Amino acid sequence: MKKVYLDNASTTTIRTEVIQEMVTIMAQDYGNPSSTHSFGRNAKSILELSRKSIAKHINATAQEIIFASCGTEANNWILRSAVKDLKVQRIITSKIEHHAVLYTIMALQQEYNIQVDYVAVKPNGEIDLTNLTDLLAQDCKTLVSLMHVNNETGTVLDLKRVSVICREHNVLFHSDTVQSIGKSKIDLQELSIDFLVASAHKFHGPKGVGFAFVRKNSGLQPLFFGGEQEKGQRPGTEAVHQIAGMAKALEFSYANLDEEKIYISGLKAYLLDQLELEFPSFKINGNLDGFYNIVNVLLPFSEDKTAMILFHLDMKGIAVSRGSACQSGSIRPSHVLAEILSVEDLKKPSLRISFSHYNNLEDIDLLIEALKSMK
């Protein structure tokens, strides 16, 4: 049975070149970057070259890149220090953020009694920027935290517009860019974003490593205390092989961006054509011009199919993600779809299908065949 992986918003396969790079470093360059002998200096040099390379791809400076263990950690760090150290009194966010942001903000609200406002989300999953501007009329030390690409629906935030709005209102702007770094060009000289976050396993790099972009002179303070690594911003011996793997993965992602984007967009268009053909009353959760590698669809199946759909596809070797509630009640409904779907539609089966350049048309045909057998 051919296995089909269409869950690339969850994680991605590591590029062979990245694995090779990491294996070489693990075998040969095992020094601790903090050591002053040649082994240490060699590891330190790998680390700093990786930082420079990553910074170059997003037009930042190397000192603005701080390595972390994952996107969740980087989001937690930025949000917590913004409240604790930068004395942010209010956070404006949305109910469709990833839990790494939403739950962190909720915890900060409890601990620091900050004001939290949720900007309205339009029925197509987009953030209502008029509402954001209205919310910003209030004058207090504010941070706006809005993700670039939604991991469930693929809706895209206009980073340029939001960064201009934030600058005009003199507020800080943090964006969870975990789904877009490596898949979309980001120029931090053009965009006045204060903080953003990336995770290597989303762009064909290893798990357990990510980075934060922290604008120079932001005043952010560390979450952890210990050594002098990352200039004391994030102590702990650096995972040199992971970081070098991440840098390599990002390099490949940006070197092949245009080509892979065209290819993946073609796969998404083909999937939508096939769904139109076989299930004409399917609906897109979100908007038609969402991000090129993610689509979330509501299938015209009866509600009793909801609980079993992922299991059924898995039995056929097809990996996708659930889009909405599981009827058995054992899985909580998606907090993102709950914001944009009616109560009735939320009970029906929705699927998130997410692509990479490793997919092909046959993968989609197999998915469609499997879905047809469930009709």
Point out the residue whose Cβ comes nearest to ligand PLP.
71
The answer to whether residue 359 forms part of the interface with ligand PLP (CB under 6 A) is no
Q: State which of residues 21, 64, 126, 176 lies at the interface with ligand PLP (CB under 6 A).
A: 176
Among 105, 127, 143, 178, binds ligand PLP (CB under 6 A): 178
104 binds ligand PLP (CB under 6 A): no
Cα 357 from Cα 261, distance rounded (Å): 8
Residue from 33, 210, 290, 333 in contact with ligand PLP (CB under 6 A): 210
Binding ligand PLP by CB under 6 A: which of 8, 12, 53, 72? 72
57 contacts ligand PLP (rule: CB under 6 A): no
* 70 CA to centre of own chain: 11
**Among 55-63, 118-126, 174-182, 278-286, which window interacts with ligand PLP (CB under 6 A)?**
174-182
Q: Residue 179, interface with ligand PLP (CB under 6 A)?
A: yes
200 or 275: CB nearest ligand PLP: 200
Nearest C-alpha neighbor of 230 from the set 241, 214, 248: 214
- Least distance CB 170 / ligand PLP (angstroms): 26
Q: Least distance from C-beta 205 to ligand PLP, angstroms?
A: 10
| Binding of residue 70 to ligand PLP (CB under 6 A) | yes
**Cα distances (angstroms) measured from residue 130 to each of 155, 165, 166, 167:** 17, 10, 13, 15
- Of 74 and 275, which CB lies nearer to ligand PLP in the complex structure? 74
Identity of the amino acid at 241: H
**267 phi and psi, to 5 degrees?**
-65, -45
Extended beta strands in the chain, E state: 4-5, 65-68, 90-93, 115-118, 142-145, 172-176, 195-199, 210-214, 283-284, 294-298, 318-319, 321-322, 350-354
**Beta carbon nearer to ligand PLP, 126 or 176:** 176
Tell me the two tokens of residue 83. Answer: 């409240």
Select from 291, 277, 83, 93 the least CA-distant residue to 176.
93
Kindly indicate which of the ranges 65-73, 182-190, 231-239, 278-286 contains the residues binding ligand PLP, using the contact rule CB under 6 A.
65-73
Nearer to ligand PLP, 106 or 361 (CB): 106
Dihedral sign, Cα of residue 365, residue 308, residue 8, residue 122: positive
If we measure between CA atoms, which residue out of 92, 1, 4, 2 comes closest to residue 358? Answer: 4
Does 182 sit near ligand PLP (CB under 6 A)?
Answer: no
Task: Give 57 or 148: the residue with its C-beta nearer to ligand PLP.
Answer: 148
Contacts of 61 (CB under 8 A, 6+ apart): 55, 216
Distance CA 135, CA 73 (A): 28
Site membership for ligand PLP, residue 356 (CB under 6 A): no
Q: Which of 8, 155, 199, 293 binds ligand PLP (CB under 6 A)?
A: 199
Q: Which of 17-25, 67-75, 111-119, 218-226 is the region at the interface with ligand PLP (rule: CB under 6 A)?
A: 67-75
Burial 175-185 (b: 16+ CB within 10 A, else e): bbbbbbbbbbe
Instruction: Give the catalytic positions in this structure.
Output: 326
Residues lying near ligand PLP in the complex (CB under 6 A) are found at: 70-72, 98, 100, 147, 151, 176, 178-179, 199, 210
